[in-house]
Chains A and B, each alone.
Chain A
Amino acid sequence: MHTDRILGVAAIAVAAIMLAFGYGLEAPFAYEPTGPRAFPLIAAGMIALCGVILVWKPGEADPSVPPMPGRAIVALSGLLLAYALLFQPLGFVIATTVFMIPIAMIFGAKWWQGVLVGAVLSVSSFLLFDRVLDVVLPTGPLGGII
């Protein structure tokens, strides 16, 4: 029940942001009667409506939803975010090796298994994608060596 209320409030907040940034959208020259802001504002209105319904009449809590393992979720989200931010500066090989170790360990790997996964994945996928498939991956500080 609480989840639905929170969802409803979040939906209303999203709609408010869409309204605030969408209301001022106007075309300097109008070629057609609708204009660029009607559609986003309709979507915002519908999102707000859904939000109000969810706050007003939240459904019963679903007992099948498992409890959230809070610390593990925060840790994994943080690691993923850090990986995304450092992917370019550190380069693919270093970033992948460094971050896949703790991610593997969250999912039950021993530290040496994590190191193995990180090293094998980073080197093999760099070779496969960068060298074979021509997907340019960042090299980072290793730029001169590989």
Chain B
Amino acid sequence: MDTLSYLIHGFGIALAPTNLFLATIGAVVGTMVGVLPGLGPINAVAMLVPVVFALGLPPEGSLILMAAIYIGSEYGGRISAILLNVPGEASAVMTALEGYPLARQGKAGIALSLSAWTSFVGSAIATTGIVLAAPVLASWALAFGPVEYVALMVFAFACLTGLLTDQPVKALLAIMLGLGISTIGIDANSGVYRYTFGSPNLVDGVQFATVVIGLFAISELLIMLETMHAGASVRIQQLGRSLFNLSEMRFTNAATLRGSLIGFFVGILPGAGGTVASALAYTTEKRVVDKTDPEGSRFGKGDMRGLASVEAANNSASNSNFIPMLTLGIPSSGTTAIMLGVLTLYNLTPGPALFRSQPDLVWGLIASLFIGNFILLAINIPLVGVFARMLSVPAWVLVPFIVVVSAIGVYSGKSTTFDLVLMVGLGIGAYFLRRANVPMAPLILGLVLGKILEQSLRRALSLSAGDVAILWSSPISITLWAMASAVLLIPLLMPRFRRWREETMTETD
């Protein structure tokens, strides 16, 4: 019953006027950004990092704002997928498969409202799951020492390389580059300057905001230049009847429920976010419908069950992503990694202890996820036409806007030309990495986890006076090492799994 009183306390924080206002703003801005083709949650949250500091928000306020933007842009991503067949981000690819054919049949309004509803159900189920599972997991994780943390992070990296992409080497490369960047600056243990190349600008490391904005916002501009011709002439489909009816809801209920559960469990795994969840939900739903429905499926031609399960799974996974982030301090997606990075900027150490030391922050965030989803449902059904109009914002307005917000954001940190140049340099570098199919999310995870991993490793080896055998000395760590090897080896041993992954996972960040 402890949980219940904490949750009520959390609602008290989330319903405070400032935080309620932040959640509403975040939901609106997030949906708007999600609608824009090419801009997904990760870009939105990345550009927001410095703004949050400029606003001088307390940690819970900034997390509430970022979380609302994050789930809001997942809602928004489906709008461009359904209306234009242009998924704003990888996790909306599956939405377009069923949503766009529905729009072509004049059912765009139904597809949009139905998917808003199933997104809401998915999120609500996942948030309830967070309330039930997170405190238990956190109290269990309090027993983790440095040894277990090292094994846990290796498991997270194994999940990233094994589950996320069809090119594990490139994901591993991205993680290691992130770890490399995390070592720049003064070493906390010995006071030695590492990779500062004599520059005073690098003594306390590379600014987090500079890296995320360079990697996501600036490189995105170059990608937009590449794909500019694709979205040049947009013709938005007529919306038609705007609300789904009860029989359509009954028709999709089972699919929504299955999608939500799949999304919830996939979202908990490190590295597997909405993209994996929606792909898995779609293929599962197709198989179930093929087996049970005598009329067969109309998948690919606009089946509402496909749309319902995908959107439920996608949003469920983005919410359950918060479980490993809050309880273990291990983010499971690029976006939650950025939020975790922001926590460390507030000098808060992410991990199970947060539940004890920062109940306001943790429970305020969880409660605001519930509230944010209600706000999103409330604004998404009546205002979908307004959001759809965002699609006609021309690139020549959007791009200068992104450049200016990015530059101001990076400059606001230390006010140096160095950081601005570094931002552009990282952006250009990231553009070439993305062209070579190197995913960016693992790089951010490597960067965020690098310092914690190194500190845990060094603390563990101090305990054993340098004997590496300590790393597999406890039952928990042995289990985690075994799970990590399983995640890496299963794809190699199961060609069928590999084929499935290659079919479903063409895009990864």
Contacts and interface: CB of A to CB of B under 8 A. Distances in A.
A72 interface: yes
B194 interface: yes
A127 interface: no
A104 B396 contact: yes
A142 interface: no
A105 B396 contact: yes
Contacts of A35: 190
A76 B427 CA distance: 11
Contacts, number: 193
Contacts of B176: 43, 46-47, 50
A107 B395 contact: yes
Interface stretch (B75-83, B249-257, B289-297, B434-442): B434-442
Interface in B385-408: 394-401, 403-405, 407-408
Interface residues of A, number: 74
Contacts of B461: 32-34
A27 B404 contact: no
Contact of B192 (A25, A100, A113): A25
A125 B436 contact: no
Given A39-B457, A137-B408, A104 B197 contact: no
Q: For the side of the interface on B, what is the size category? A: 35 or more
Contacts of B183: 39-40, 43
Contacts of B177: 14, 47
Interface in A25-53: 25-37, 39-40, 43-44, 46-47, 50-51, 53
Contacts of B398: 107
Given A44-B180, A46-B176, A50-B172, A84 B404 contact: no
A32 B227 contact: no
Interface residues of chain A: helix, strand, loop or mixed (majority):
helix
Given A6-B436, A25-B192, A40-B194, A34 B458 contact: yes
A23 B187 CA distance: 15
Given A21-B197, A136-B412, 14 more contacts: A3-B435, A18-B195, A34-B457, A34-B458, A43-B179, A47-B176, A50-B173, A50-B176, A73-B222, A104-B399, A108-B395, A113-B396, A133-B54, A135-B411
* Complex A-B, nearest 7 residue pairs according to Cβ-Cβ distance, in ascending order: A33-B466, A27-B190, A109-B396, A84-B420, A50-B173, A100-B400, A104-B396
Interface of B: 54-55, 167, 169-170, 172-173, 176-177, 179-180, 183, 187, 189-192, 194-195, 197, 218, 221-222, 224-228, 232, 394-401, 403-405, 407-408, 411-412, 415, 417, 420-421, 423-425, 427-428, 431, 433, 435-438, 453-454, 457-458, 461-462, 465-466, 506
